[in-house]
Amino acid sequence: MNGIYTALICSFDEKGKVNEAGLREIVRHNIDVQQVDGLYVNGSSGENFLMSADQKKKVFEIVKDEAKNDVKLIAQIGALDIDEAIELGRFATELGYDAVSAVTPFYYRFDFDEVRDYYNTILEQVDNKMIIYSIPALTGVSMSLGQFAELFENEKIIGVKFTAPDFFLLERIRHAFPDKLIFSGFDEMLLSAAVLDVDGAIGSTFNVNGRRAKQIFELAQEGRIKEAREIQKVTNDLIADILANGLYQTIKEILKSRGVDAGLCKKPMKNLDADRVKKAQEIAKTYL
């Protein structure tokens, strides 16, 4: 399951409903144009935490039906309601997803015993492989090397999506667990993570910049660091402009400029005004 995975954007209509035709176009764009190795479905970039369980299931269904077996698929099932996470995990597994992933439980100040129990409880009832989604900046949950070791004692936990700037910890995890999958979660730090021998990356900007991400990753693996750094520089210029204009909204507008019906964001996210739409189109022309 190594490689570059897009954290898939989802297309919504004006009423916040999943736009099936647009979502299918996004999937095909990622597979056929960006040529990524896999799709990470219903993560933060897919506005997962703004959706009902039924909407999440619909997205899982549409993506699997469109992608079939063209690329690997990871289903992000994490939810504060553990019963929902289990239900989604079973659903995605029955659809044929290659693995599930779950963000660490958030909002309440869960201690590590509770976090560990969360994953083990899910995996007792979901017959699939698990990739932990660690994103401390948004969840408030930071874990030590020893705590990752405790989680990895469960053989069904095969790796981690590591979305943190702690490269000391990243290196320690890589050294201690050579057989576990490590996916970098910060697009702007892909080269730095690749140098530490991660197995791949999962990123939102790969919806529009996946081919460059693959170049960075492959060049780093070949030891061609100077070339990779040049591509990372262009990538980071693109990322900086996207972030300044509105992350998910700008990615959607860039996709629209490429003929992909990426739709709107769900409320309470706001959509871009005319000036920012124009800026998104300029970003597309400049970098893509």
Q: Catalytic site residue 285? A: no
Q: Which positions ≥6 away from 66 have C-beta within 8 Å? A: 23, 24, 27, 28
Long-range pairs of 240-248 with CB within 8 A, sequence gap ≥ 24: 241/279, 241/283, 241/286, 241/287, 242/205, 242/283, 245/272, 245/276, 245/279, 245/280, 245/283, 246/272, 246/276, 247/204, 248/9, 248/45, 248/47, 248/204
Catalytic residue among 5, 97, 119, 133: 133
Is residue 96 within 8 Å of 64, Cβ to Cβ? yes
Q: Catalytic site residue 108? A: no
Q: Which positions ≥6 away from 101 have C-beta within 8 Å? A: 40, 43, 74, 75, 76, 77, 78, 130, 131, 132, 133, 161
* Helix boundaries (H) for the chain: 20-28, 53-67, 82-95, 112-125, 136-139, 145-152, 167-176, 190-195, 206-221, 225-245, 247-257, 274-287
Catalytic residue among 56, 161, 180, 252: 161
Residues noted as catalytic: 133, 161
